[in-house]
A and B are shown apart, each in its own frame.
Chain A
Amino acid sequence: MSLLEVKNINAFYDSSQVLFNMSLNISKNKIIALLGRNGAGKSSTFKAITGIIKVKSGSIKLDGKELMGNSINSRAKSGIGYVPEDRQVFPEHTVEENINLGKKNNLKNINNWDLEKIWDTFPLLKNLRFRLAGQLSGGEQQMLSIARTLAGNPEILLLDEPSEGLAPIIVEEIEKLIDKLEKIGVTILIAEQNMHFCMKVAKEAIIIDKGQSVWSGSIKELNKDKKTRDKYLAI
């Protein structure tokens, strides 16, 4: 059974529709790339899953549990972990405080992601833990945004363009981090335009175009399939 099952959703910004009968299936412990051109609807897909934008029909199930109709915070509590495109760290809070804000009030006894494990996984952040988040570099903020969401112990991580606007050397750091997360079995859906980056971190891909999912398969397959890439990804 898939961990996240999105079926025929129609989503809107006010009155203009962005997603049209969009469906996705994400299985557990996988790193999957969500590819598509500028404006294809990648970020909107994430916002529909988190509940930030309105979904009028369809179904969004996590672990078999229907999320449609639930508030943003209750979807997050159910296990949707969202890392937005623009990171959105809290600039006036320190690194450690940002991470603590990601902890949910409802986490029962088990949290796989206590501070200790976060520091183990993000040694860079540990050294910066008393720094205000607003003073971090873009790459550091990206790391922090991921760490903060992990602190809420999500079932699935929705990473929106983690490599965007970062220097190549920092992008490599993010790649290493995602590899690390894959090894410990975190499920991640990564929205990306950077095919090169996806080749390195993901094994499977889903392509969306004009608000619909149009292709899915293995990244290797996609790399060989120039026709599909030209049709949906070439600029």
Chain B
Amino acid sequence: MELVAFLECLTSASCIISQTAGGLKIGMLLFLVASGLTLVFGVLGVINFAHGALYMLGAYFSWQVMNTTGHFGLSVLLGAIGVSIVGLMFERGLLNRVYNAELLIQILLCYSIVLILDDLVMIIWGDEFLSSIGIPEIFQVPPLFVLDAIIPPFHLAIIGLSLLLAIGLWLLMTKTRFGHLVRAAAVNPNMLEALGINTTVIRASVFVLGSFLAGLGGALASSIGSVVSGMGNSILVESFIVTVIGGMGSIGGAFLASIIIGMARSFGAIAMPLFTDGIMFLIMVLVLILRPHGLMGDKK
């Protein structure tokens, strides 16, 4: 453990600021993906193990659009929309058949989709790392210096965009009729159905929204890292940890947990550079011991 380096960082304003900014960037990107996973679980009752594969698809789609059109905004948007369409086909064609099936069958279906998509992208785009699509030109400027801490403006943009999306998601779920229907469908879909609401449409819409968030996360990730088959696996594990820490189905909980994990990764990289994944699991175990239903989950 690099205790000295860690203490040195904690006594330096610039280190704290740059690690906090880095942690927020990781955390907010994670939130985009994890919120989709938790939303889908809350309403459909399915742990979508293919969520990471959808994230990967978002990265490939945006890479393709970027390399065809050269337009960054368009590539991120079309990446997310493309994944939404794939998500819709997956939910309508396959997933809806296993809502009442055993957990094992659901996992098997999702996992087979992961394998198929992982191979499919290799068939289409090859098995080598594709280089990142890069950040848009307006952000290709010298970094900001805050109290000597180096902060890339693009990271601030990602944090800002994710924060806006988090607020939008919160408004959607609490202030709109759609959000009220979604929350009711998570609790008692049969009653909602008996009130004349088509819950099949609600489930499909929620899955599309979840896929959009995964795709958007992947598209943004393609701007700061390379794109490769299987890149969704680690984000799936992290999103799952976030979902468990925050409370299964709780979007607010996922927000809190994402920031905690982002910070743990960022500061953990200094304190225990070889054990950053371990820190994440330790936090999860700790939360499960102290609050078995997660930070903001219900006691069901």
Interface residues of A (CB under 8 A from B): 50, 52, 71-74, 76-77, 82, 84, 88, 90-93, 97, 100-102, 104-106, 148-149, 152
Contacts and interface: CB of A to CB of B under 8 A. Distances in A.
Residue of A76, A82, A101, A152 most packed against chain B (CB within 10 A): A101
A84 B194 contact: yes
A84 B194 CA distance: 10
Chain A to chain B: the 5 pairs with minimum beta-carbon distance, closest first? A76-B196, A104-B196, A72-B193, A88-B191, A77-B196
B180 interface: yes
A149 B191 CA distance: 10
Given A91-B187, A92-B183, A101 B194 contact: no
B195 A104 contact: yes
Nearest to B184: A90
A52 B195 contact: no
B77 interface: no
Contact of B194 (A52, A90, A97, A100): A52
Interface residues of B, number: 17
Interface of B: 177, 180-181, 183-184, 187-188, 190-199
Interface of B (DSSP majority class)? helix
B197 A104 contact: yes
Contacts of A90: 183-184, 187-188, 191
B180 A100 contact: yes
Contacts of A84: 191, 194
B180 A97 contact: yes
A92 B197 CA distance: 18
A101 B180 contact: yes
B195 A93 contact: no
Contact of A102 (B183, B187, B195): B195
A121 B43 CA distance: 33
A73 B193 contact: yes
B194 A82 contact: yes
Contacts of B194: 50, 52, 72-73, 76, 82, 84
Nearest to B191: A88
Contact of B196 (A73, A91, A92, A97): A73
A93 B195 CA distance: 15
A93 B183 contact: yes
A71 B187 CA distance: 20
A56 B194 CA distance: 20
B289 to A, nearest CB: 27
Nearest to A72: B193
A101 B191 CA distance: 10
